[in-house]
Structure formats: C-alpha cells, structure tokens
C-alpha cells in the first residue's frame, strides 16, 4: 500500500473529487421506504455504496446516524466500511473525535488501528482540545497508511466564534490549525505529494480563508469542503472560499442529503452524482 494522501490523489485522478456523505437521517430512511432502525440504516448504506463505489473517490458515513441505533447501528457502520473496502472506494468515518492524549490513543485505535473493524481509510478529528492532543491519532494514521481530516473552518455559522478567535500571538485558531497541519504534512509536501493529514474547510465560509491569512496550498492537505447542496453552497461559494486553488488537486467538495434525496433507485443516485459533478466542473471553467 501507499500513504493515504497518495491513494486519495490517485482515486481523485481517476474519478474526480466529489465525496458523497452517507447520512441516513430518519426522513431519508422514510423516503426510501426503509425502517428507522439499524436494519434500515444498513440497507440504506448498502444501496449507496453499491450504487456509487465505482463513481466517487471516497464515501463519508456520518457516525452519529449509525450510533443512534446503538450497537446494531455501529455494526451497520462496520459492515458499510467493509463493503466500501471490498468494492474499491475509500471511506472516511465522520466521527469528529477529539480528547486528551491518553483517551485520544483509544480513539486512534478504534478508528485508525490496524485490526479495528471501525477503521475506514480516514476519520474526522476535532482539534479544539489543542492540535497536539491529536498526536496519537496522527501517529496511528501514519503507521497504518490511513488519514485524518482535522476541523479548521466548519460549515456551520456558529463555528466562527471559536475558529476566527485570535490567540495571544495574533493568529486565529483556524490559521494555527492550518499551520500545524502544514507541519504534519511537511514531508509529503517536500516529496510533491498530497499529505495524509486533511483539513475541513466548509464551502460556506466565504472570505474567511483569505481574511485569516491561511495559505491552503502550503498545508499540502486534502481539503474536505462540506456545505455543498443542502447547506446552500455551490460552485460560486466554493470559488469564493478556495479561489483558483479549487482546481489544484487538494479540494474535495462533499455533499450528503442533496445526493441521497434521489435514492433509493441506484440509477437516480448515479445521475445525481453526474449532475453534481457537472455543476462543480464549472469551477474550473
């Protein structure tokens, strides 16, 4: 195998950059004629993965929507990850974990450990206990050729109150996270590769990247951009956030409900992805 960043870059080169989130909300389960249960969530996820595994570089199951069904829901998440692996699509477990270092080690084992059934190819992490507290996860990811995506500028309007706040040295929290991500990816950057430590930068954050003086190219990070579709962002908003770097191979727009609303017919799900990709292609026009 090779590093997560290299594997991701090669999938993106083959299939484009749109990541589809698997968010089995109760309303979607009902619309698909499925029960709001672990069995419903498992069936929903199977249909999404089987329909899209050859079309998109990575799927992103939202852990909370499995956890709400207890241990059987978590088992459905494990089955989803194993099906994704079998069908050759990368998986990013959206669990947004973060804790003190000693506890982080346990989360790292759960989501990035070599033998863990809950480990996909990558996991989302929250750095708000301090970026350094994520170190056990960064190490576990590197040891197992897996990746992490660290929240920096989230797509929700409440995020700015923490992420734009300025520390004593005059740098914003988000810019400090970007600096730490750049340091973690320094070796990959020197090799001219995409790093395995990704960053989440919402498609809805407007001019925050520029305003906070963040150099996204410098981070060498894959940039997960949620907020596309149901949260209102499209190509114009992505262009406003990422500018020309939109086409430099780092950007991974991600959308969940806007695609999932077209299920459960596999052909309709695939068409929704084709349509979303065509719309996003206007970014590079």
Ligand X SMILES: O=C(O)c1cc(=O)[nH]c(=O)n1[C@@H]1O[C@H](COP(=O)(O)O)[C@@H](O)[C@H]1O
Q: Is 96 labeled as catalytic in the residue annotation?
A: yes
Alpha helices in the chain (DSSP H): 4-15, 26-31, 38-52, 64-67, 70-87, 101-112, 135-143, 160-163, 173-184, 186-190, 208-211, 216-219, 235-242, 257-260, 266-281
Q: Choose the stretch contacting ligand X; rule: CB under 6 A; options: 6-14, 27-35, 172-180, 225-233.
A: 225-233
The two tokens of residue 72 are 């059987």
> Which of 70, 157 has the CB closer to ligand X?
157
63 binds ligand X (CB under 6 A): no
Q: Which one of the spans 66-74, 191-199, 227-235, 267-275 is the region binding ligand X (CB under 6 A)?
A: 227-235
Phi-psi region of 220 (alpha: psi -120 to 50; beta: other; left: phi over 0): left
Residue 256 touches ligand X, criterion: CB under 6 A: yes
Could you say which residues in the range 176-205 bind ligand X, by CB under 6 A? 200, 202
**One of 40, 127, 226, 235 touching ligand X (CB under 6 A):** 226
Q: Rule CB under 6 A: say whether 277 interacts with ligand X.
A: no
- Rounded to an integer, what distance in angstroms lies between the CA atom of residue 234 and that of residue 225? 11
Run of H or E including 254: strand 251-255
Stretch that binds ligand X, among 26-34, 36-44, 189-197, 229-237 (CB under 6 A): 229-237
**Residues 115 to 134 in contact with ligand X, rule: CB under 6 A:** 124
- The answer to whether 226 touches 33, Cβ cutoff 8 Å, is no
- Binders of ligand X among residues 6 to 35 (CB under 6 A) are 21, 23
CB of 125 to ligand X, least distance (A): 9
CA atoms within 13 A on the CB side of 238: 27
Q: Which residues bind ligand X (CB under 6 A)?
A: 21, 23, 62, 94, 124, 154-155, 200, 202, 226-227, 229-231, 255-258
Q: List the catalytic residues.
A: 96
């Amino acid at each position: 195998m090779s590093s997560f960043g290299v594997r991701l870059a090669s999938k993106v080169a083959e299939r484009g950059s749109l990541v589809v989130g698997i968010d089995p909300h109760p309303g979607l389960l009902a619309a698909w004629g499925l029960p709001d249960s672990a069995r419903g969530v498992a069936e929903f996820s199977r249909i999404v993965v089987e329909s899209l595994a050859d079309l998109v570089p990575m799927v992103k199951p939202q852990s909370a929507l499995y956890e709400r069904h207890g241990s059987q829901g978590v088992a459905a998440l494990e089955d989803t990850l194993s099906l994704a692996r079998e069908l050759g699509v990368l998986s990013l477990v959206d669990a947004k974990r973060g804790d003190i270092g000693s506890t982080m080690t346990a989360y790292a084992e759960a989501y990035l450990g070599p033998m863990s059934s809950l480990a996909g190819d990558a996991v989302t992490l929250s750095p708000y206990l301090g970026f350094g507290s994520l170190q056990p996860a960064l190490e576990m990811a590197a040891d197992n050729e897996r990746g992490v995506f660290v929240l920096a500028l989230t797509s929700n309007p409440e995020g700015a109150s923490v992420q734009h706040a300025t520390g004593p040295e005059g740098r914003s929290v988000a810019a400090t996270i970007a600096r730490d991500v750049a340091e973690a990816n320094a070796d990959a950057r020197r090799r001219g590769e995409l790093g395995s430590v990704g960053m989440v930068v919402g498609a809805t954050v407007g001019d925050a990247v520029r305003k906070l003086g963040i150099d996204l190219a410098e981070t060498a990070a894959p940039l997960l951009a949620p907020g596309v579709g149901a949260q209102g962002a499209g190509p114009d908003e992505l262009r406003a956030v990422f500018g020309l770097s939109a086409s430099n191979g780092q950007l991974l727009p991600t959308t969940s409900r806007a695609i999932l609303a077209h299920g459960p017919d596999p052909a309709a799900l695939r068409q929704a992805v084709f349509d979303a990709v065509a719309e996003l292609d206007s970014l590079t026009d």
